């Protein structure tokens, strides 16, 4: 085969991550997206585990088209019958049968002899084969098993109808060289027509490396999960396996997958949202910083040619193009480029002075926004920064029996403006009231609350990020009342956006047609 099949187990092994409990609707939503992504097999669940799992697998089998729908099963007939009942409606179905072959599992968990395990495999696989032609067999804890016994069991599985042999590193004990050798040994030893698969766990951080070592040694199916979800430290991350094969096609002899890589980031975000498991910022491929650059040397290189520091096109995985993040590590080149994009053409002493002010601010603030840059330039040009709106008074109302609401009075120069708002909480209502008073309506994309000090009278420190009028600005507010702090943070962001918008209008009048 010149293609690697992608077997997605997000809905089975991934859901086994502590704290994840997806309902039928959520599983269907993810399964539909996995089909759009182009995975070859969806392991939809473990039907005998619970009625909810059975219902989810059955619903996915009935409605999701394209991928093979698989159900997991032990070798017992009740498990296999239940799995078949769940997947039988799929246009293409698979029963995935497993039983352990390692000494510790057989002795401590199964309490079975070698001969009993072999008999279980023969009977279980044959039973599954009576239902469907597509049977996968996994010798659980294969990597820690006696290799000769494990392949003997695999041969029994193939002889009884298994068409896929999955070799799991169930506890993440393997290292790439040894795991690759095991895959090669299975292929060389077990006779028949079958596809070899990998299922690697990440306990040592080697799940993706081991999976790719398996591919290099002949495996043509990889079992993986979105965002690397799964038991303990998780499974091989689907997005990393796919992009490694694509980006290093030279090393993997042009092997391809059926994955539509532009859907990777969207799929990652959906799974994160529905499972409640956040994606680390520096996560490969789909993390928010995967294509972000702050170091000055890197920024300079990327501005000249993205390939200086990027081995993938961000758009190819559904991410935004290379992001130049201004911070304390940024250099003059990135600073000047950002100014040019804002229409602020600084040269000579003005640029030098603005860059010094930028560095001073960057030492106090993690990330610099466009509004911050505008404010820096405004100060260096002698115009100063004057907040257009300030709070004169406010009143917030909330409780369990009424819709939260807020009334604010702001000063706009010497004029008072008022606003009223309602929301799903007092903070939401306060934001709505300020939006009405100022006429600036946008979307709050980031919202962080922290305590400045300890104790019941601690100051609440709110930092938020507002997108409005095509401009993004941050705001910060501090108060012993978190609602007030939130209102002040939102108003601070509004003032930055108004200031930048007004300045842009002036520039357009000066240089416009």
pLDDT of residue 362: 64
Residue 249 has a CB neighbour count (10 Å cut-off) of: 12
Contact assessment for residue 169 and residue 138, using Cβ atoms and an 8 Å cutoff: no
SS3 379: helix
Reported as a single tens digit per residue, the pLDDT across 187-201 is 999 999 999 999 999
510 pLDDT more than 50: no
Question: pLDDT band at residue 512, thresholds of 50, 70 and 90?
Answer: very low
- Longest Cα–Cα distance of the chain, Å, equals 91
Dihedrals φ, ψ of 329, to 5°? -95, -5
pLDDT of residue 88: 97
pTM of the model: 0.68
Question: pLDDT band at residue 507, thresholds of 50, 70 and 90?
Answer: very low
168 pLDDT more than 60: yes
130 pLDDT more than 60: yes
pLDDT of residue 473: 79
pLDDT of residue 360: 66
Alpha helices in 248-295 (DSSP H): 264-275
Question: pLDDT band at residue 280, thresholds of 50, 70 and 90?
Answer: confident
pLDDT of residue 504: 56
Q: What residue ranges define each of the domains in the chain, with the CATH number in brackets?
A: 5-275 (3.20.20.70), 292-380 (no CATH), 389-511 (3.30.160.270)
pLDDT of residue 386: 54
The bridge status of strand 93-100 relative to strand 41-45 is unpaired
Dihedrals φ, ψ of 300, to 5°? -60, -45
15 pLDDT more than 50: yes
Question: pLDDT band at residue 383, thresholds of 50, 70 and 90?
Answer: very low
% residues pLDDT > 70 (the chain): 79
Of the two residues 462 and 162, the one the predictor is more confident about is 162
Contact assessment for residue 168 and residue 199, using Cβ atoms and an 8 Å cutoff: yes
Name the nearest CA neighbour of 169 among 138, 124, 148.
Answer: 138
284 pLDDT more than 70: yes
pLDDT of residue 327: 60
pLDDT of residue 472: 77
Mean pLDDT of the chain, nearest integer? 85
pLDDT of residue 178: 98
Taking the C-alpha atoms of residue 45 and residue 50, their distance in angstroms, rounded to an integer, is 10
Name the nearest CA neighbour of 438 among 387, 376, 375.
Answer: 387
């Amino acid at each position: 085969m010149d293609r690697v099949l992608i077997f997605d187990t997000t809905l089975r092994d991934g859901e086994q991550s502590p704290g994840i409990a997806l309902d039928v609707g959520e599983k269907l939503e993810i399964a539909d997206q996995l089909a759009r992504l182009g995975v070859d097999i969806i392991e939809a669940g473990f039907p005998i585990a619970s009625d909810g799992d059975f219902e989810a697998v059955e619903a996915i089998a009935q409605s999701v088209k394209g991928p093979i729908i698989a159900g997991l099963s032990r070798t017992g007939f009740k498990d296999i019958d239940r799995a078949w009942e769940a997947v039988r409606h799929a246009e293409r179905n698979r029963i995935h049968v497993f039983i352990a072959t390692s000494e510790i599992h057989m002795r401590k968990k199964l309490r079975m002899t070698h001969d009993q395990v072999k008999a279980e495999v023969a009977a279980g696989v044959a039973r599954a084969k009576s239902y469907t032609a597509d049977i996968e067999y996994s010798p659980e804890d294969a990597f820690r098993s006696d290799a000769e016994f494990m392949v003997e069991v695999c041969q029994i599985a193939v002889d009884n109808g298994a068409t896929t042999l999955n070799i799991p590193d169930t506890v993440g004990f393997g290292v790439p060289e040894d795991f690759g050798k095991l895959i090669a040994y299975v292929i060389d030893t077990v006779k028949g027509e079958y596809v070899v698969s990998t299922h690697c766990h990440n306990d040592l951080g080697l799940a993706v490396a081991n999976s790719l070592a398996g591919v290099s040694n002949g495996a043509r199916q990889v079992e993986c999960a979105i965002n690397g979800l799964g038991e303990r430290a998780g499974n091989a991350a689907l997005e990393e396996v796919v992009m490694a094969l694509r980006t290093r096609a030279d090393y993997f002899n042009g092997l391809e997958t059926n994955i539509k890589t532009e859907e990777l980031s969207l799929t990652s975000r959906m799974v994160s949202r529905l499972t409640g498991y956040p994606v680390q910022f520096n996560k490969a491929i789909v993390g928010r910083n995967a294509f972000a650059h702050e170091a000055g040397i890197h920024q300079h290189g990327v501005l000249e040619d993205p390939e200086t520091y990027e081995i993938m096109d961000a758009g190819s995985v559904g991410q935004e193009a290379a992001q130049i993040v201004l911070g304390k590590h940024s250099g003059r080149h990135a600073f000047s480029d950002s100014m040019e994009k804002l229409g602020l053409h600084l040269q000579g002493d003005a640029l030098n002075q603005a860059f010094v002010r930028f560095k001073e601010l960057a030492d106090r603030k993690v990330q610099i926004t466009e509004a911050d840059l505008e404010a820096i330039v405004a100060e260096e040009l002698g115009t100063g920064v004057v907040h257009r709106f300030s709070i004169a008074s406010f009143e917030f109302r909330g409780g369990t029996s009424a819709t939260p609401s807020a009334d604010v009075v702001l000063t706009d120069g010497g004029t008072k403006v008022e606003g009223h708002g309602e929301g799903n909480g007092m903070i939401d209502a306060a934001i709505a009231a300020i939006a009405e008073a100022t006429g600036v309506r946008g979307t709050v994309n980031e919202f962080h609350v922290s305590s400045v000090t300890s104790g019941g009278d601690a100051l609440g420190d709110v930092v938020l990020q507002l997108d409005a009028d095509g401009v993004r600005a941050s705001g910060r507010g501090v108060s012993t009342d978190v609602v007030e702090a939130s209102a002040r943070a939102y108003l601070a962001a509004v003032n930055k956006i108004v200031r930048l918008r007004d300045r842009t209008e002036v520039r357009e009048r000066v240089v416009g047609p």
